[in-house]
Amino acid sequence: MTMHRLNPGPRMSEAVRVGDIVFLAGQIPTTLDADITVQTREVLAEIDAVMAELGGSKADIASVQVWLSDMADFQGMNAVWDSWVDPANPPARATGGVALARPGMRVEMIAVARAPA
């Protein structure tokens, strides 16, 4: 079974495919002083971009772990998520409060997806 790596760097790859499954790196916001609405939009746009680069879309996503630096942002994240999610193809999901890598970072998401054909 061959592996395929998207945008491998010196520390990590953006995504790694093994057979039918693609594992994405944690996707993070670009605007670290923005609120949860903006940061959630940025993270979901990153996921959309990675899925597009893989030749797929959010309909291919199987599961997402959502990490929030402050669970007070749960409703704000959900509001953006709910308007983003493909209602015909919602992923499995879990959300937890986890300290994130940079100050000001409020949300990170780790997705696993079907490898586009």
- Give φ, ψ of 73 to 5 degrees: -85, 5
Query: What residues between 25 and 54 interact with a copy of itself by CB under 8 A?
Result: 25-26
Contact (CB, 8 A) for 26 and 103:
no
Q: Is residue 13 close enough to count as binding a copy of itself by CB under 8 A?
A: yes
- Neighbouring-strand partners of residue 66: 95, 109
DSSP 109: E
Check residue 24 for interaction with a copy of itself (CB under 8 A).
yes
Q: What does DSSP assign to residue 72?
A: G
Contact call for residue 79 and a copy of itself (CB under 8 A): no
**Contacts to a copy of itself by CB under 8 A:** 1, 3, 5, 8-21, 23-26, 60, 62-63, 65, 67-68, 71, 74, 78, 81-82, 85, 87-101, 108, 110, 112-115, 117
